[in-house]
Structure 1
Amino acid sequence: MRLTILRHAPSLAGGLMAGRRDVPADCSDAAAIARQRARLTPGQVIASPALRCRQTAAALDLTPDRLEAALWEQDLGAWEGTDPALLPDLGPLPPQALARHRPPGGESFDDMAARVIPVLNTLDGDTVIVAHAGTVRAALSMVVGAAALSFSVAPLSITVLRRAGDAWAVEAVNLRAGD
């Protein structure tokens, strides 16, 4: 089974943390959209219900078979709509502590992964998911644990995992349209 996760196109959040805010996407780069569309393999299509994910799916000429609420981005609580430069520096935290850290009123990466991973584990055929950077990292955490937080996940990038039985393997991470 092949799982292809495409992060939505750049969000129009004005450089602020988007998280659960339902902001639109900039899907105007037709060449990048076409390059990524050509990389997608047939299969079922699932999307986060976020506007930016639905717009990206439409730009890719994908019609989701379903919208899956569990795939929403991490709830950043009080950090939603904040300039990233104003957030505390969590860089010194070891990966496991970073994964457990909750923004005030939000959820931790571990909390988010606990709702995303069960959805991924129920998939039974090749699937394309249009979702968020957090969704991609949650999928990667099935293979590398909390170290998944160290992966860069660019807008409109593709990450591919394969599953044989219960074992997941990473095939590709952060394939950008220009790669």
Structure 2
Amino acid sequence: MIIFGLPSLAFAQAAVSDVDWNDPSLKTAMEQIEKEKVKGLESASPYAASQLPVSLPILGLPLPDKTASVKSLESLASGQAAALYRYDKEKGYWYSQVSRGKDITILVQGSRLSEGDPNPLRPEEISFQFLAEDGSSKPTEVVASFKRFQIRYSVTVSCRKEDDPRCSQETAVRTLISSLKVLGGKQ
């Protein structure tokens, strides 16, 4: 059910949001990424996304590797082995990361583009939309939208089975969102 890429936006009329690069947590994360680059570890670490030429912080699930501790992520997306990225190659205004695991697909997206959202989110707010297959009242997918660093992000979790708590309970999605890491981005 997940559509790969960002929701359709009228890109020609969209405004470009400014990133809060001075946010303390973002500064700390970007410093950590730079340390990894100095060590020459970025290609084998969760920070491989730091190579993407996008002009916003890349939030995503760190890729499991031999040195990363991903126990909490494994419980959310057991069997997750890799992530696939798409991004705006022209201006670097958006990206998406897709991770697949056993019975679950997780899509994380970020975009600097907006159409003047009539319902802007406060930084601490998360908006949830639970979706069910046709003819069912039990959700198999949840879309959570939130704002961080003055940028709008969304996480879509799609489950194969009805009543999977990862797609039917806000708590599971909030835990997933809190586990997202800054993986890259360019100022």
Structure ID, larger Rg: 2
Which bracket does the TM-score occupy, shorter chain normalised?
under 0.3
Higher RCO, Cα 8 Å, sep 6+: 1
Q: Which has more strand, going by share of residues?
A: 2
Normalising by structure 1, we get a TM-score of 0.28
